[in-house]
Amino acid sequence: MYDTTSEKDVDQKTIKFSARKVQVFYGDTHAIKDVDVDIEDKTVTAFIGPSGCGKSTFLRCLNRMNDTIDICRIEGDIRLDGEDIYDRRVDPVQLRAKVGMVFQKPNPFPKSIYDNVAYGPRIHGLARSKADLDQIVERALRRGALWDEVKDRLHAPGTGLSGGQQQRLCIARAVATEPEVLLMDEPCSALDPIATAQVEELIAELRRDYSVVIVTHSMQQAARVSQKTAFFHLGNLVEFGETGNIFTNPEDKRTESYITGRIG
């Protein structure tokens, strides 16, 4: 049932996102400097680094969430399946349907569980009938590992769920539009260890179908869930490699200092 692909099997993967010479400026602040990175399909990629290193900023470039910030300016080239996502012809709303996002704090809409999940498919016209939509909602909730817990109360408000359930609801909402990539910005930092484990288990399953990029402050979480790890420091991508290597034998002294918890 589960594929037992180990973290060693990350080579020979197709590239989903390809970023070249990416620069991000917030006004005069140079937040991301010359970042080159390839993000693979069906792989969990973790972004780690100290606060303010630019990892979330870079994540938000991947589905143009930074477009909403007026003073933010992005240079360089980011391609999804070879297509420039900053091309004028690309509709950011369509892009975000393909590149879903889950945030730090669970943020369900103040609507029913059903409507939370049905929202995306509705606005993107993915369902032709009520039965169709029911099916999409069930599939998404199953993917979010939440179906069994909520199938009897689909019309109860999403905000009435526990924190961990709310986060899984947000993941279900994100996968309902059948995205190709899932971006997660510290998805477990507001969750208890059990809910965290459930979300991590879910990430491992989602990896079979999606490319997942996760920003995390927890070294152990990056080590547990990802196959590739990128270490950001002061806006630079310092090191990018196979997770097992990064955590046993990193090449760069800055990476080593950070992951071992040293001042440096």
Partner 1 sequence: MNTNHILSAFDRDLEGVQAKVMRMGGMVEQALRDSITALLSHDIEMAARVRQDDRAIDELDEAVKSDCARILALRAPTAVDLRVVLSVIEISSNLERCGDYAKNIAKRTPSVGVQHDIMETGTALRRMAEFVQAMLSDALDSYIHQDEDKALDVIQRDVEADQMYNTLFRSLLTHMMEDPRSIATAMHLHFIAKNIERVGDHATGICEQAIYVLTGEMPQEPRPKQDSTTRM
Q: In terms of CB distance, is 90 or 219 closer to partner 1?
A: 219
Instruction: Compute CA distances 256 → 9, 52, 220, whole Å.
Output: 24, 18, 14
Residues that bind partner 1 (CB under 8 A): 219-220, 223, 247-250, 255-257, 259-264
Sheet holding 15-26, edge to edge: 29-40, 15-26, 72-80, 83-84
CB of 257 to partner 1, least distance (A): 7
Contact by Cβ (8 Å): 174, 203: no
CB of 246 to partner 1, least distance (A): 8
Of 257, 226, 224, the C-alpha closest to 240 is 226
Q: In terms of CB distance, is 211 or 255 closer to partner 1?
A: 255
Q: In terms of CB distance, is 6 or 220 closer to partner 1?
A: 220
Instruction: Compute CA distances 62 → 6, 163, 222, 253, 254, whole Å.
Output: 26, 26, 19, 28, 25
Contact by Cβ (8 Å): 47, 226: no
Q: In terms of CB distance, is 94 or 248 closer to partner 1?
A: 248
CB of 222 to partner 1, least distance (A): 10
CB of 221 to partner 1, least distance (A): 11
Max Cα-Cα span within the chain: 58
CB of 228 to partner 1, least distance (A): 16
Q: What is the DSSP letter of 245?
A: H
Q: In terms of CB distance, is 5 or 257 closer to partner 1?
A: 257
